[in-house]
Amino acid sequence: MSKSIVEKIIKKQLPRDNFVKNDEVEFEVTHTLLQDSTGTMSALQFESFEISNTQVELSVCFIDHNMFQEDYKNMEDHQYLQSFSSKHGLYFSKAGNGICHQVFLERFAKPGKILVGSDSHTPTAGGIGMLAFGAGGLDVAAVMAGEKFSIKMPELIGIKLIGNLTPMVSAKDIALELLRILGVKGGVGKILEFFGPGVKNLSVPERSTITNMCVETGATTSIFPSDIITKRFLYSQNRVNDWIKLTADSNTQYNEIIEINLNELEPLISLPHSPGNVKKVNELKNIPVNQVCIGSCTNSSLRDIKIVSQILKNKKINENLSLVISPGSRQVLQHIIESGELNDIINSGARLLECACGPCIGMGQAPFSGSTSLRTFNRNFKGRSGTNDANVYLVSPETAAASALTGYITDPRSLNIDIKLKMPKKFMVNDNMIVTPLDNRSDIQIFRGQNIKPLPIFRKLNNKFYGKILLKLGDNITTDDILPATAHILPLRSNIPEITKFTFSNIRSTFYNEAIQKNGGFIVAGENYGQGSSREHAAIVLRYLGINVIIAKSFARIHIANLINFGILPLIFRDKDDYDKLKEGNELELNLDNFDELVLVEASGEKYYVKHNLSEHEISIIKAGGKMEFIKNKLRGK
């Protein structure tokens, strides 16, 4: 029987003949990834399990998000994470070494292995043939403690690539084309597997740009084959022994096939304020640009920065805009220094930022009010840049660099620049900013700064809930909407009482005080509630405020898992028209005696029938008050 890449990886652990959509499957994970934005909470959660060492083949912790050090908080968190990593057997990538997904791809990713990371863009590693899942920090902590990782089996969608990209069209445009086809919900409940003759024309970093952006379709993950192109990349990183051949069988049956002809693709652009709002670049006329940002885990590879350098060489950026560039890793930076390409970038008038996430996560480079910012990033949610009324567009490095020269959104093909890309056969490998775990760790003491606060303890749920609807929200509410990032909020990730004060602050500045005064209540939302970042804090803060139930038309995958992990009941309208009938301020009662018959009852007596898509295992987690208490009970033998 023919098998897909995904089935070949999973069937090593689960020898089934077939997988049925929504079947709950669990498997052992080989690799985990933490970063400093979500990592402090995940580390604290792992410590609470009282297990000495990470139980997986390889775990890595990266410092790449909270890089500003305007006071003690971020630096103390970095010290905590380094000492935690040393104590419990994790590799540790220091601040300045690079963005987690770029460095992981270069130095750690292995075809055929299974990765779970506390960052929604962990599927970036799918570009090297790894089955990689973004998850909440508690899920990663549980995996590190020896728990299996559980998902509901998605549909398998084949993405057939034919042809070859034309000049000034790049992998980012393939990703944007998929978003044009699928939107931000079309990938929900699906894994995207790439195949076809066009695959061989894409390097591993280009493939990883695509798997990175597939997250924005709502896909569970995405994956490319491991082939001769993969082998060359691993050879260039002095890791050729990590290569295995891993391709789908020629007659693999997918649930659906989407074909993209690379010859026909044009430069594309996502308009504000959604990655799925895609148009052709040449359809946008005379739109002035105030800021251009090139980098992020999507487009900061050596290939991307080399292209930008060639476009900017011997030219000057438009005097009316700012151009900033963030190389994805120190390896990338060292290459462009050695080759002289950094000079071409700097001489054009561009500014060089640290090898970090930076502006993508709202850490610096907030555009001015009402301005237009072009970014090679993966998200342009309203306010994510740090400026609520800025217009943020997502583009390829080619379009970004071209627009930086003209001062307007520009189709890069119109500049008639002949690009000759020459990649090194061997990369400059230097791992001296990666701290390797010691064999003897018994004497290591964990550093705890004053910003590290104890984990909140959430007890098991009551059988009845009473409360008012605190907030009624629309479709596609993001985790940035629920709990913003930005430079003044991110340092509070290990301080739940303080960070909770910013809950829904960009939607209603008074929400925190209202929730405190009313002792919690209900949240009502539309479709795709919780899309975007994997930040589990967007669930933790609601539970901390006494919000135990959220009713929506549908939920995003990672966020619904985070809600379950912290004992929040995610309910779905049986009749979506009931959404229109519920109003903010309405009083509701919910009885949990029977999870198969759930009814919301208004004070007026009006009834609204709701359902859930929870497994028995997930119901047990919610009843325990969340995954942490559930695992602790398991470890105690209860």
pLDDT at position 585 is 92
Write out pLDDT tens, residues 558-604.
899 999 999 999 999 999 999 999 999 999 999 888 888 888 898 88
Give yes or no for a contact between 409 and 403, defined as CB atoms under 8 angstroms apart: yes
Domain 464-635, CATH homologous superfamily name and number = Aconitase, domain 4 (3.20.19.10)
Provide the pLDDT confidence category of residue 492 given band limits of 50, 70 and 90: confident
pLDDT at 340 over 90: yes
Domains 269-412 and 464-635 share a fold: no
CATH architecture of 5-262: 2-Layer Sandwich (3.30)
113 band by pLDDT with thresholds 50, 70 and 90:
very high
CA angle 385, 181, 476 (to 5 degrees): 45
Angle, in degrees to the nearest 10, between helices 137-144 and 557-565: 70
User: Which tokens go with 179?
Assistant: 């978003």
pLDDT of 489? 87
Work out the number of other CB atoms within 10 angstroms of the CB of residue 384: 27
pLDDT in tens, 117-172: 999 999 999 999 999 999 989 999 999 999 999 888 899 999 999 999 999 999 99
What is d(CA 118, CA 103) in angstroms, rounded to the nearest whole number?
A: 15
Question: Which residue in this structure is represented by tokens 């066009």?
Answer: 198
pLDDT of residue 277: 95
Report the candidate in 151, 189, 169 with the shortest Cα–Cα distance to residue 25.
151
pTM of the model: 0.92
Quickly state the pLDDT bin for 73 (edges 50, 70, 90). confident
Q: List all residues 6 or more positions away from 442 whose beta carbon is below 8 Å from its beta carbon.
A: none
- pLDDT attached to residue 617: 87
Instruction: Say yes or no to pLDDT of 624 above 90.
Output: no
Residue 505, pLDDT > 80, answer yes
Task: Average the pLDDT over 267-274 and give the result.
Answer: 96
Give the pLDDT of residue 17.
62
Sheet of 391-394: strand order equals 278-280, 268-270, 391-394, 372-375, 291-294, 322-325, 351-352
In the predicted model, is pLDDT for residue 15 greater than 90?
no
Higher pLDDT, 221 or 68: 221
Domain boundaries, the chain: 5-262, 269-412, 464-635
Contact 384, 362 (CB under 8 A): yes
Of the listed ranges 333-337, 377-381, 611-615, the least confidently predicted one is 611-615
Q: For position 36, what pLDDT does the model report? A: 92
Give the torsion through C-alpha atoms of 500, 506, 509, 512, to 10 deg. Answer: -20
Per-residue confidence band for 623, with pLDDT thresholds at 50, 70 and 90: confident
> Regarding the domain delimited by 269-412, which CATH topology (the fold level of the hierarchy) does it fall under?
Aconitase; domain 3 (3.30.499)
* Whether pLDDT at 103 is above 90: yes
CB 205, CB 105: distance < 8 Å: yes
The pLDDT value recorded for residue 638 is: 58
Mean pLDDT of the chain: 93
Predicted local distance difference test score (pLDDT) of residue 16? 67
- Give tens-digit pLDDT for 457-485: 787 777 888 899 999 999 999 999 999 88
Q: Does residue 293 register a pLDDT over 90?
A: yes
Q: According to the model, what pLDDT value does residue 257 have?
A: 97
Question: Residue 637 — very low, low, confident or very high, per pLDDT cuts 50/70/90?
Answer: low
- The pLDDT, as a whole number, for residue 18 is 67
pLDDT of 11 reads 83
User: Residue by residue, what is the 3-state secondary structure of 301-358?
Assistant: CHHHHHHHHHHHCCCCCCCCCEEEECCCEHHHHHHHHHHCHHHHHHHCCCEECCCCCH
Mean pLDDT for 58-84 is 91
What pLDDT score was predicted for residue 110? 98
Percent of the chain with pLDDT over 90: 76
Greater model confidence, 270 or 602: 270
Per-residue pLDDT, averaged over 218-225, amounts to 96
Q: What is the pLDDT of residues 44-56, one digit of tens each?
A: 999 988 899 999 9
